[in-house]
Amino acid sequence: MDIFLTLVINGLSEGALIFLMASGLSIICGLMGVVNFSHGALFVWGGYTFVWIYRMTNSFVLGILAAVISVFILGIIFEKFFVNKVYGNAPAQILITLGLQIVFTDLVRLLWGATPIAVGRPAYLAGTTIIAGVTIVHYRVFLIVVGLLVALIVGYILSHSKTGMIIRAGVQRPDMVQALGINIKLYFTIVFAAGAALAGLGGALYAPLVGNVVSTAGAYNQILAFIVVVIGGLGNFVGTAKGCIFLGIMGAFVAWFAPSLAVVANVGLMAIVLAFKPEGLFGTAVKK
């Protein structure tokens, strides 16, 4: 029972981390229709910026803020100068974002080196608590709380605010949104940058969890994010959130009981979903 609860908490925290990465991708890929292979690079930039500022200032919060803001700006640059030119052209999107992923991951290596940089958790998030024989890692609980908060805020914005309405409408008929007097291009830039910032936040929070930051982390986490976006249903934000919980918990259990199958299980699940329920496990994806 103890191990069961520990694995659930581990799974939920992993799910929360995947969610931070995948929620941005769900918006960019699912809602805006951009196949964004640069998401991993944005994740890594978030991680490195966090570690750089955290080590310099010794402030965890400043490090997180710096990661989010810098990746938000990077998102604006990506959208304005590259992605914006290839809306509606999936092959071009794959090529251009893959190119950005390679260039910006290499830039990370150039700036900070290829060797992993160690990073610890701040003292107030570093401990553990044992309740009824179950070891609860504070940092993992913190990740679950952050993931929940982000899910609630983004979910609320998408479904209840005028901005959310504009995004949902703009994805379906950008020309008509423009004809109603709304600058949809500006919204798309901001949405892309916000999705990027979420990846940056994910990268920043991931580093203290695994104890280091390394340039290859982006590609691995990007695959996980794509898997949950597919499982959740393209464009289905709530589905993506459920997909993250599902994948996180499944990953924790598989890693414990059959560690060699950890990667295979994720990809296998995605393949099964694509084969039997291509619209996603959790409800219907947004039609375009």
Partner 1 sequence: MKSILKAENLVSYIGLYTILQGVDVEVNKGEAIAILGRNGAGKTTFLKTIMGLVNTRSGSIELEGESLVGMPAYNIAKKGIGYVPEDYGVFDELTIEENLRLAVRKETPDGEDRIAKVFDLFPDLKIAYKRLAKTLSGGQRQMLSISRSLVNDNKIILIDEPSKGLAPVVIESLGLALREISKESTILLVEQNFSLACAVASRYYIIDEGKTVLNGTIKDLLKDKELQAKHLGI
Residues that bind partner 1 (CB under 8 A): 162, 165-166, 168-169, 172-173, 175-184, 286-287
Least distance in angstroms from the C-beta of 186 to partner 1: 9
Cβ closest to partner 1, residue 29 vs residue 197: 29
Q: Which residue has 């995947």 as its token pair?
A: 18
Cβ closest to partner 1, residue 28 vs residue 201: 28
Least distance in angstroms from the C-beta of 160 to partner 1: 10
What tokens does 121 get? 């958790």
Calpha distance 58→239 (Å, rounded): 37
Cβ closest to partner 1, residue 84 vs residue 212: 84
Local structure of residue 282 (DSSP, 8 states):
S
Cβ closest to partner 1, residue 203 vs residue 235: 235
Instruction: Give the rounded distance of the alpha carbon of 164 from its chain centre.
Output: 19
Cβ closest to partner 1, residue 132 vs residue 175: 175
Length of the chain: 288
Please give the full DSSP string across 155-202, using - where no structure is assigned.
Answer: HHHHHHSHHHHHHHHHHH-HHHHHHTT--HHHHHHHHHHHHHHHHHHH
What tokens does 130 get? 């044992």
Least distance in angstroms from the C-beta of 181 to partner 1: 4
Calpha distance 108→92 (Å, rounded): 24
Least distance in angstroms from the C-beta of 235 to partner 1: 9
Backbone angles phi and psi of 131, in degrees to 5:
-120, 120
Calpha distance 56→50 (Å, rounded): 10
Half-sphere exposure of 141 (CA within 13 A, CB side): 13
Cβ closest to partner 1, residue 55 vs residue 160: 160
Helix (H, G, I), strand (E, B) or coil at 134: strand
What tokens does 207 get? 């580093």
Least distance in angstroms from the C-beta of 6 to partner 1: 41
Cβ closest to partner 1, residue 50 vs residue 188: 188
Least distance in angstroms from the C-beta of 275 to partner 1: 26
What tokens does 74 get? 């990077």
Least distance in angstroms from the C-beta of 213 to partner 1: 39
